[in-house]
Structure 1
Amino acid sequence: MIHFELNTIDKKHIEIDMMNSNPTYNLIAKGKEAIDEQDVEEEFRESVDLEVVRLFVKNKDDDIGIIDYCLSNPSDGKTWISLFVIHKKYQGSGLAEKIYSQFETRILDKGKKINSLAVHEINVQGIQLWSSLGFRKI
């Protein structure tokens, strides 16, 4: 059963493992294949400033992904997904679509809808996923 759990700084080792299972994404987003504690700590500091909620995606007790989102982005007031990462060993299983659907319901229950997200132009896998879920490039 998929559920969400708050990602807190004391669990940074889980985030590091999750992100480092995706070296191609790290190259795109961070310019290096592996992130470290300093990178995660910086993400947490930025998240506080931007009021970003950071969640782990869990399947039973297994950590399978990370979602960061902002219910009301300071720049435009819209709901944004700023990070959606699935651990490499769970990619290609159809879980991303299930996770997104459950996450979208969570946001709708808060009286919001997901308006926007950012995907790096060279992240072909990400663009394919979001396109299949009905998002369009602007």
Structure 2
Amino acid sequence: MISFETNEINKWKIELEIMNSNPSYNQMSKSKSTINYDDILSEYDESKKLNTTRLLIKQGNNYIGLVDYCINNPSDNTPWISLFVIHKKFQGSGNSHEVFELLESLVRKEGKTKLHLAVHKENEKGLSFWSRIGFNKVKVIIFEGKPHYCLEKDI
């Protein structure tokens, strides 16, 4: 059974392990394959400024991933997923889909009918996943100097 747990800075070692199990994602997003405490702290500080909800994903007693989302993005008053990462050893067995369904349910309970996210243009695996579960490309943007697809789904 998948569940969420609030992700606070005192759980940084859990987040670091999950992130560093995905060196190719780190390379895409941070231009380095391994991140450190300072990178986690920077993400935590940014999420506080943006009023983002940060969650650890649990399956039983195992931490299997992370999800950060903003229920009301100030740029368009729409919910945005800003981070969705599954630990490498828990990928490929349907966990991502189950986690997304749980997250989608949380967002719907807030009365929202759309959900947005951005995917690194070079992240073919991520783009394939999001497209399979109903997200559509809306536009291409440059964020932090890198091209991203903005995706949208009616929920």
TM-score (norm 1): 0.97
Report deviation, 1:115.
2.0
Distance between the aligned counterparts of 1:114 and 1:91, measured in 2?
Answer: 26
Q: How many aligned residue pairs are there?
A: 138
Which residue pairs with 1:11 in the alignment? 11
Preserved contact between residue 80 and residue 114 of structure 1 (Cα < 8 Å) = no
- Structure 1 equivalent of residue 32 of structure 2: 32
CA RMSD between the two structures:
0.8
Aligned residue runs from structure 1 range 1-138, under 5 A: 1-138=1-138
Percent of counterpart pairs with the same letter?
A: 46
* Alpha-carbon distance in structure 2 between the residues aligned to 1:54 and 1:16: 14
1:28-74 deviation line (CA, Å, top 9, x unaligned): 00000011000000001100110011000100110001000000001
SS across alignment from 2:66:
strand
* Higher relative contact order (CA closer than 8 Å, sequence separation 6+): 1
AA aligned to 1:41 is: L
Q: After the TM superposition, which parts of structure 1 deviate over 3 Å for at least 4 consecutive aligned residues?
A: none
Distance across 2 between alignment mates of 1:110 and 1:87? 28
- Kept after mapping to 2: 8 A contact 1:81/1:114: no
- How far residue 11 of structure 1 moved from its aligned partner, in angstroms, is 0.2
Q: Which runs of 5+ in 1 are unaligned?
A: none
The structure whose residues are more often helix, as a share, is: 1
Tell me the secondary structure at the aligned position of residue 65 of structure 2: strand
Shift of the 113–35 alpha-carbon distance from structure 1 to 2, 3 Å rule, reads farther
| SS at 1:137 equivalent | strand
- CA distance in structure 2 between the partners assigned to 1:12 and 1:132 by the alignment: 31
Bigger mean CA deviation after superposition, 112-121 or 51-60: 112-121
* TM-score scaled by length of structure 2: 0.87
How far the C-alpha of 1:113 sits from its partner, in A, is 3.5
CA deviations 1:74-93 (Å, max 9, x no partner) are 11111000000000001111
